[in-house]
Amino acid sequence: MVVVMRSQANDADVDKVVKAISEVGGDAFVSRGKNQTIIGLVGDVTQFTELPLHAFPGVEDVIRVSKPYKLVSNDAHPRPSTVWVGDVPIGRDTMTLIAGPCAVETEEQTEGACRMAVEAGAKILRGGAYKPRTSPYAFQGLGEPGLDIIHAVARDLDMPFVTEVVTTADVETVAAKADMLQVGARNMQNFQLLKEVGMAGKPVLLKRGLTATIDEWIMAAEYIAHTGNLQVVLCERGIRTYEPATRNTLDVSAVPVAQSLTHLPVIIDPSHSGGKRELVMPLIKAGIAVGADGIIVDVHPRPEVALCDGPQALVKDDIVQLRETVVRYAEAAERTLPTSDTPRREGAWGRSAAG
């Protein structure tokens, strides 16, 4: 950390900062410039952050140099980690497709969408039973019966699935059946939910909040990691900008930025970002091109009657193109598609004893 003193600060002001730092066991290095003095702090940053240095007389600014997150930082773990969802890896060598309906509506619709996902080459299914909706009048999801439907369909197809959990009260119920828990964009800073989801011990898909900075998103991942659960996959799903032509703006640069800061896999959601079917394929291409570790995409057998997010769902006619696009772009990005033969690296990060 660096403390920048005001140009009017006197020696007594500088001494007060130096004394406070040494009292918490840190070292302070004073550099006196012509106009301004700066003080470099070395030691355990967590101790300095407790000090109200901003409020000290003569202090102009306090600048943090080291990253605020530790467990998910790639300083702590320079090799990218692989998160295993059932037997499916999500990591830097593979391109993992996750697909399914936005929401579980009926058995028939869920099965139809999941079969489309399989045909597209998806290795993990998705489907929301608990839906965080902007309007209280919109379909809120089927709840536990919906969870049972996606669970039964996934087991029938012998596939793992991810589903969202929106409140702490449902974590245990969802974790008992789902292979991966999703924390949605609207809950990215629901810290109690992050902690309880982390403690459930299952892999977590953490969506980026609509207005969250990359640092805030990674700090949310740190909350999960802090519970001892490092099986976190980050998902860039578009952020709120001034542009109304798309539902959200897919921040493609967030993929390499987040990958440069953390060891966690980063995937993209072209459905909730673009918000329109015709944008899904171009955004998938962009995501793979910038180095995403996977894609999560909405598909629906009859989007014209979908209860949630029909306009962005890919349809049956899109499936061959989806499959071929992922294959071609993954190959160009020198990634393999996970198969049942993908070696499961023992001891890899993100693998819990429970699997």
- Site residues for ligand PEP per CB under 6 A: 102, 128, 132, 164, 184-186, 207, 237, 269, 272
Is the dihedral angle over the CA atoms 236, 237, 239, 243 positive or is it negative? positive
Q: How far is the CB of 137 from ligand PEP (least distance, A)?
A: 17
- Enumerate the β-bridge partners of residue 182: 164, 205
**Which value, in Å, is the radius of gyration of the alpha carbons in the chain?**
23
Q: How far is the CB of 249 from Mn ion (least distance, A)?
A: 17
User: Phi, psi (5° rounding) for residue 208?
Assistant: -80, 135
From ligand PEP, Mn ion, none, interface partner of 204 (C-beta below 5 to 8 A by class): none
Judged by beta carbon, residue 20 or residue 286, the one nearer ligand PEP is 286
Are 6 and 58 spatial neighbours (Cβ–Cβ below 8 Å)?
yes
- Enumerate the β-bridge partners of residue 59: 5
Q: How far is the CB of 272 from ligand PEP (least distance, A)?
A: 4
User: What residues from 265 to 324 belong to the interface with Mn ion (CB under 5 A)?
Assistant: 309
Three-state secondary-structure class, residue 42: strand
Residue span binding Mn ion (CB under 5 A) among the ranges 80-88, 96-104, 144-152, 316-324: 96-104
Give burial (CB, 10 Å; 0-12/13-18/19+) of 189: middle
Q: CA 355, CA 352: separation in Å to the nearest integer?
A: 5
Judged by beta carbon, residue 17 or residue 150, the one nearer ligand PEP is 150
Q: How far is the CB of 304 from ligand PEP (least distance, A)?
A: 19
From Mn ion, ligand PEP, none, interface partner of 111 (C-beta below 5 to 8 A by class): none
Q: How far is the CB of 23 from ligand PEP (least distance, A)?
A: 45
Return the residue matching tokens 């299952």: 202
Spell out the residues 6+ positions from residue 149 whose beta carbon is closer than 8 angstroms to its own.
Answer: 104, 106, 107, 110, 127, 129, 142
Judged by beta carbon, residue 309 or residue 318, the one nearer Mn ion is 309
User: Binding marks (x or -) toward Mn ion, 167..206, rule CB under 5 A?
Assistant: ----------------------------------------
From ligand PEP, Mn ion, none, interface partner of 237 (C-beta below 5 to 8 A by class): ligand PEP
Three-state secondary-structure class, residue 219: helix
CB atoms closer than 10 angstroms to residue 344: 12
Residue span binding Mn ion (CB under 5 A) among the ranges 30-38, 90-98, 99-107, 343-351: 99-107
Q: CA 162, CA 124: separation in Å to the nearest integer?
A: 7
Q: How far is the CB of 225 from ligand PEP (least distance, A)?
A: 20
Determine, following the binding rule CB under 5 A, whether residue 102 of this chain makes contact with Mn ion.
yes
CB atoms closer than 10 angstroms to residue 170: 19
From ligand PEP, Mn ion, none, interface partner of 123 (C-beta below 5 to 8 A by class): none
Determine, following the binding rule CB under 5 A, whether residue 20 of this chain makes contact with Mn ion.
no
260's enclosing H/E stretch is helix 254-261
Q: How far is the CB of 298 from Mn ion (least distance, A)?
A: 6
Positions that interact with Mn ion (CB under 5 A): 102, 309
